[in-house]
């Protein structure tokens, strides 16, 4: 005889939400891929804008922030799984998060392996926040996947901030891209990795700047595929007939976040402010 209580428990877990967080709007680029691949899942997205940008914070600060956000997800949304939609937070805190919490946690790391595998010039580049650029996680990724590949590891201070304001093609963006990407354009690089989820919203602008010779890569589709794979493997995928819902929260100005998020996602977003 089947264990009815166990079945009910499993179904309840399947219906629980997936928590997704970033320092700000960048993680929306990951959320978009998750919603596309997992249309029946329910999500709660948190933009920790009170402390944006993450890219200029210490490892200790990032771990503390990640703990606070995860506790908020657990205590107020009863999440079944979490996606850290931020390269900087992943590179600095995911190891500690996995030690402390028992549920599934998916991270976001730069797609260095993919770039190295596809490079024909044996030169790739990665642009990321200052914190990600100097992290041990990125250094290990480069060491493990780029043994015969030359890697340009470029730290991009302030580039995250312009996207956070919803500016994707203004004079400041062009100035920063000229500053950080001229070296890439003038090199033998044939693959550029976007090592910050904010930068995905600049992808077309970056492609136009670099030209067709250099392929621009982000790992967001891979994150969504990994999330789906884990949900299936652990029998946690939501199979409800209705389309899933997403709740949006910001620790900063929720009105400004809603405006920028609506612009980036091309849908109406209404976020609530939350203190964590």
55 annotated among ligand-binding-site residues: yes
Active site residue 156: no
Residue 99 shares a structural domain with residue 24:
yes
The strand ranges marked E within the chain are 18-22, 43-47, 81-84, 104-106, 123-128, 150-155, 191-194, 215-217, 246-250, 272-273
Per-residue pLDDT of the chain (276 residues; tens, 9 = 90+): 333 333 334 456 788 999 999 999 999 999 999 999 999 999 999 999 999 999 889 999 999 999 999 999 999 999 999 999 999 999 999 999 999 999 999 999 999 999 999 999 999 999 999 999 999 999 999 999 999 999 999 999 999 999 999 999 899 999 999 999 999 999 999 999 999 999 999 999 999 999 999 999 999 999 999 999 999 999 999 988 899 999 999 999 999 999 999 999 999 999 999 999
95 annotated among ligand-binding-site residues: no
Residue 57 shares a structural domain with residue 128:
no
Residue of 91, 146, 156, 196 marked active site: 196
Residue 101 shares a structural domain with residue 124:
no
227 annotated among ligand-binding-site residues: no
Residue 73 shares a structural domain with residue 11:
yes
Q: What is the CATH number of the domain that holds 157?
A: 3.40.50.1860
Examine the fold and report which residue of 189, 218, 247 is the final residue of a domain before the chain moves on.
Answer: 218
Examine the fold and report which residue of 197, 218, 239 is the final residue of a domain before the chain moves on.
Answer: 218
23 annotated among ligand-binding-site residues: yes
Tell me, what's the pLDDT at 128?
Answer: 96
Where in the sequence is the domain holding 191, given as residue range(s)? 112-218
Residue 96 shares a structural domain with residue 13:
yes
Residue 225 shares a structural domain with residue 214:
no
- Compute CA distances 171 → 149, 153, 156, 178, whole Å: 33, 24, 16, 11
- Listed residue (132, 121, 102, 131) closest to 219, CA to CA: 132
Tokens (6 digits) for 150: 């030359």
Tell me, what's the pLDDT at 7?
Answer: 39
CA atoms within 13 A on the CB side of 125: 22
Residue 168: what are its φ and ψ, rounded to 5°?
A: -115, -15
Residue 103 shares a structural domain with residue 228:
yes
Examine the fold and report which residue of 218, 238, 260 is the final residue of a domain before the chain moves on.
Answer: 218
Residue 186 shares a structural domain with residue 60:
no
Active site residue 86: yes
**Total domains present in the chain:** 2
Residue 103 shares a structural domain with residue 225:
yes
Tell me, what's the pLDDT at 6?
Answer: 38
Residue of 86, 91, 146, 156 marked active site: 86
Residue 49 shares a structural domain with residue 125:
no
Residue 14 shares a structural domain with residue 98:
yes
């Amino acid at each position: 005889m089947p264990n009815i209580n166990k079945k009910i428990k499993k179904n309840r877990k399947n219906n629980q939400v997936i928590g997704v967080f970033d320092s700000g709007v960048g993680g929306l680029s990951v959320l978009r891929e998750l919603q596309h691949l997992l249309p029946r899942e329910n999500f709660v997205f948190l933009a920790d804008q009170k402390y944006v940008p993450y890219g200029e914070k210490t490892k200790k600060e990032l771990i503390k922030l990640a703990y606070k956000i995860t506790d908020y997800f657990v205590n107020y949304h009863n999440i079944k799984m979490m996606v850290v939609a931020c390269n900087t937070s992943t590179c600095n805190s995911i190891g500690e998060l996995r030690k402390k919490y028992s549920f599934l946690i998916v991270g976001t790391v730069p797609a260095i392996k993919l770039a190295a595998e596809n490079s024909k010039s044996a030169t790739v580049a990665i642009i990321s926040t200052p914190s990600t650029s100097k992290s041990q996680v990125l250094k290990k990724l480069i060491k493990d996947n780029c043994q015969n590949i030359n890697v340009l590891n470029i730290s991009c201070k302030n580039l995250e901030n312009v996207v956070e304001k919803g500016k994707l093609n203004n004079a400041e963006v062009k100035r920063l891209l000229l500053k950080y990407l001229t070296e890439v354009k003038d090199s033998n690089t044939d693959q550029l990795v976007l090592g910050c989820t904010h930068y995905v919203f600049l992808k077309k602008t970056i492609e136009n700047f670099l030209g067709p010779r250099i392929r621009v890569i982000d790992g967001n589709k891979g994150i969504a595929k990994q999330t789906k794979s884990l949900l299936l493997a652990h029998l946690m995928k939501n199979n409800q007939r209705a389309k899933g819902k997403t709740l949006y929260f910001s620790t900063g100005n929720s009105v400004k976040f809603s405006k920028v998020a609506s612009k980036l996602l091309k849908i109406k977003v209404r976020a609530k402010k939350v203190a964590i």
